[in-house]
Amino acid sequence: MMAEAQRNWSAAENEATVASYLRMLKMELAGESYSKTQENDRLRPSLNGRTKAAVEYKFQNVSAVLLKNGWIYIDGYKPAVNVQLDLRREVERQLREDADLDRLMQRPVERSILNHAMAGAGLVETDPPSRVLGTPEWNPRGIKRDYVYRDTMNRQLGLQGETAVVQMEQRRLILQERRDLAERVEHVSQTVGDGLGYDVRSFEHDGADRLIEVKTTVYVRETPFFVSRAEVDASAHYGRKFRLYRLFQYGSRSGEWYQLRGPITDSCDLTPENYLGLPRPAPAESA
């Protein structure tokens, strides 16, 4: 295995591996069933004696390149570092030439909007993701996408996620025999407005406030999310009363969520993505 790891992958191997990965990704985005094991078995004869484990790791390298460029990657191939420059260039080349993939990236959002059956009872709590690669980097070659931003800006998707959390909180309190509190759970982003820094006012079993900001995505658990200055400030102000609920793979049969409690600056790495700009006064010209 060590000798294999030290052998660089050839251009032909990289081309075949990236094509195989993107074929699976398009099937996943289209809602079609496929077998990762069968695709690995199909690919290996065209490679230079690579093992199944080596191919799996190379698929994870492809995921890393996609994530760095703002694309969605295959659930199950967690991004892995140490990506060869030749592989990165091959991924970028195939992305530029694949017109269908960009269109298919929109389908998970469209499917989730049509799936009105998803409610709080259909969501399963899980742990937050372990640390993954950073946010998308600037790329001058025209392949950078921002599906996370498009996902975030979809108001209907966000509203559905918030509504599911309201239902989930009401159910939790009823099960804790606090129906009186369940009846007071409030969807404040709808009743008051968006400026509070959280979306749902709920309660702990003892009646203390539980203030919830909801972030919803149709993509995998490791997908990053946008937060506003108001949300960061609210989390710092309210401390342990504040919770961020991250709903992921929303609208699918396996919809799940995790929560982060307390100040967002304590639980997340924050990267500035947008700036508020105002023109500066023109500098005085010297005589």
Residue 260 β-bridge partners: 244
Contact 259, 246 (CB under 8 A): yes
pLDDT: which is higher, 242 or 100: 242
How far apart are the C-alpha atoms of 272 and 282, rounded to whole Å? 26
The pair of structure tokens assigned to 129 is 């993701």
Q: Is it true that domain 149-267 has CATH number 1.10.3470? A: no
Q: Which amino acid is at 100?
A: D
Tell me the three state secondary structure of residue 164. Answer: helix
Is pLDDT at 140 greater than 50 in this prediction?
no
List Cβ neighbours of 188 (8 Å cut-off, separation of 6 or more): 196, 198, 199, 200, 201
Is pLDDT at 146 greater than 90 in this prediction?
no
pLDDT in tens, 38-62: 999 999 999 999 999 999 999 999 9
Contact 13, 47 (CB under 8 A): yes
Is pLDDT at 161 greater than 60 in this prediction?
yes
How far apart are the C-alpha atoms of 80 and 85, rounded to whole Å? 14
How far apart are the C-alpha atoms of 134 and 117, rounded to whole Å? 33
Is pLDDT at 250 greater than 70 in this prediction?
yes
Q: What is the pLDDT of residue 154?
A: 78
Is pLDDT at 218 greater than 70 in this prediction?
yes
Is pLDDT at 209 greater than 90 in this prediction?
yes
How far apart are the C-alpha atoms of 138 and 241, rounded to whole Å? 36
In Å, how far are 73, 81, 111 from 50, measured between CA atoms? Answer: 22, 19, 37
Please give the distance of CA 207 from its chain centroid, rounded to a whole number.
33
Q: What percent of the chain has pLDDT over 90?
A: 57
Q: What is the pLDDT of residue 39?
A: 98
Q: What is the pLDDT of residue 132?
A: 57
Q: What is the pLDDT of residue 142?
A: 47
In Å, how far are 27, 50, 82, 133, 266 from 65, measured between CA atoms? Answer: 19, 21, 10, 10, 27
pLDDT in tens, 4-33: 555 789 999 999 999 999 999 999 888 889
Alpha-helical regions (H) of 70-116: 85-97, 99-104, 107-114
List Cβ neighbours of 42 (8 Å cut-off, separation of 6 or more): 20
**Mean pLDDT rounded to a whole number for the chain:** 86
Q: In the 8-state DSSP scheme, what is residue 186? A: B
Is pLDDT at 144 greater than 70 in this prediction?
no
Comparing CA positions, the residue from 68, 110, 135, 133 lying closest to residue 250 is: 110
The pair of structure tokens assigned to 206 is 């003892």
Among all chains, which residue has been given the structure tokens 């659930």? Answer: 75
Contact 138, 146 (CB under 8 A): no
User: What are the start and end residues of each CATH 3.40.1350 domain in the chain?
Assistant: 149-267
Neighbours of 13 (CB within 10 A): 21
How far apart are the C-alpha atoms of 146 and 73, rounded to whole Å? 13
pTM: predicted TM-score of the whole model, two decimal places: 0.76
Q: Report, as an integer, the average pLDDT of 79-91.
A: 91
What is the DSSP pairing of strand 242-248 with strand 209-216?
Answer: parallel
Is pLDDT at 122 greater than 90 in this prediction?
no
